[in-house]
Amino acid sequence: MKRLLIAAALAALGASHAEAATVLVTGSNRGLGLEFARQYAEKGWTVIATARAPETAKDLKDLAAKYRNVTLEKLDVMDEPGINLLANKYKGKPIDLLINNAGVLGDTIGQTLGGFNYANFQDVMGVNVYGALAVSQAFRDNVIASQQKKIVAITSGAGVISTGSLGGNVYFYRASKVALNMVMKGLASDLRGKGVTVGLVAPGVADTAMRRELVGERAANDLKPADAVSAMIKVIDGLTQENSDKPLNFDGKPLPW
């Protein structure tokens, strides 16, 4: 009888481990990406936390030391050989949720009228748009093989054409978010038949290093990164192919195109 109870307990433990969902987060060394990694780790998910230089990301390393379910991986979303190398490492591993969080603001002077810089344009558009596509393409089979089958890109209210300037007209950053919305729409169409849900979620006005770089110090009504991510996770949990046809704000309300 005792052996049977032990066997049942081990079986339950094995089943629990097998059922743990997996999330891959890009740009997880700071801000929203770090919070996504932290909060999914706390929920018991298997977390693949990626960054360009994880060896120097102290907060991320501390997170991995605290949670055994967090694995750190080097990933630059503009390094296609590196993306493919990591995808090959995880070949056959189901990934329930891919969060394309990595993004850059770019040099603000180099994307305002009178100071346009093409190299800056390439960097912003490359990271914010092509990077999300390249990572999604490389890991699409992992997502298809999973239970939840979700790909999410972190967009912004800056990608809403009808809104005004954001502490200065940062042309390239805003254009990159419009483009991100469009390419994710195309990805949703291509992967719909595979059962994959592709969503766009915005964090609202969150107190991140990127926002401070744009507008200065934190405003009184800015969301804390932890609160913004907690709200976005609730939105992501509820994403389906039917309700993800438009970008969603952190509160679940659709953003206008």
User: Which has the minimum average pLDDT: 99-108, 147-156, 168-177, 226-235?
Assistant: 168-177
List the single range of 40-54, 130-144, 152-166 with lowest mean pLDDT: 152-166
Query: Which pLDDT score is estimated for 16?
Result: 40
What ranges in 29-153 are assigned the alpha helix state H? 31-42, 58-66, 80-89, 118-125, 131-138, 140-144
- What average pLDDT does the segment 60-84 reach? 98
| pLDDT in the model for residue 105 | 93
**Is 168 a residue whose pLDDT tops 80?**
no
User: 21-237: which CATH topology?
Assistant: Rossmann fold (3.40.50)
Lowest mean pLDDT among 48-57, 115-124, 192-201, 221-230: 221-230
Q: Which residues pair with 51 in a beta bridge?
A: 74
What is the pLDDT confidence band of residue 1, given thresholds at 50, 70 and 90? very low
Q: Round to whole Å and give the CA distance between 68 and 41.
A: 9
**pLDDT the model gives residue 17:** 43
Over residues 194-216, the pLDDT tens digits come to: 999 999 999 987 666 665 555 55
Flag whether pLDDT at 130 surpasses 90.
Answer: yes
Q: Strand pairing of 22-25 and 150-154? A: unpaired
Q: Which amino acid is at 93?
A: K
CB atoms within 10 A of CB 40: 25
Q: Is the pTM value of this prediction over 0.85?
A: yes
Q: Is the pLDDT of residue 11 over 70?
A: no
In the chain, the percentage of residues whose pLDDT exceeds 90 is: 77
* Banded model confidence at residue 6, pLDDT cuts 50, 70, 90: very low
Q: What is the pLDDT of residue 204?
A: 85
Please tell me the predicted confidence (pLDDT) of residue 188.
98
- Strand-pair partners of 70: 47
